[in-house]
Amino acid sequence: MKKTRRLTVMAMLTAAAMILSYVESLLPSPGIPGIKLGLANIAVIFALYRLGWKEAAAVSLVRVGMVSVLFGSVGALFYSVAGAVLSLAVMTLLRRLDVFSAVGVSVAGGVAHNLGQILMAMALLETERLIWYLPVLVLSGLGGGILVGLCGALLVKRIPPV
């Protein structure tokens, strides 16, 4: 693939991820802190399967940075980056092993994202008590990961390689 085409696809995926983040922010909150579907990761899953891990990392990290600047806060940036980096590492490893479907990779990524956020919160707030909140976030990661994985897998199946 030509560099210009690849860069254009990455920019479109980043824009789509940002739009999905914004749309998700408009959805009613379940009332439980830290619970989100992670819809923006549909673009990351697609990038991981169609472009590669470096491109997926770029889409994810640029999206996290831009969304934090435009709609969030500096504090939220720390949590988001921690979650995104751990999630990307886990998803990349599982993708390379080629044992799990896109849904399985997404679920693992969702759970890893929540683990990364909890670890960051524990470090910043200097308390280990937050680990008790992890089971709630694991359940959230499972549900969001399944939804995101199904959508991402559908896109990978329906959209030809770029």
Residues 118, 80: Cα–Cα separation, whole Å: 11
Q: What is the pLDDT of residue 76?
A: 85
Give the residue among 79, 52, 23, 44 at the shortest CA–CA distance from 155.
44
Q: What is the pLDDT of residue 1?
A: 63
Residues 108, 82: Cα–Cα separation, whole Å: 15
The whole-number mean pLDDT for each consecutive block of 10 residues of the chain, a chain of 162 residues, reads: 90 97 88 84 97 97 93 85 96 96 97 95 93 92 95 95 79
pTM value? 0.93
- Per CATH, the number for 3-23+38-158 is 1.10.1760
Q: What is the pLDDT of residue 11?
A: 97
**Residue 65, token pair as written in the block:** 């940075």
Residue 60: what residue type?
S
Domain ranges of the chain: 3-23+38-158
Q: What is the pLDDT of residue 45?
A: 97
Q: What is the pLDDT of residue 29?
A: 79
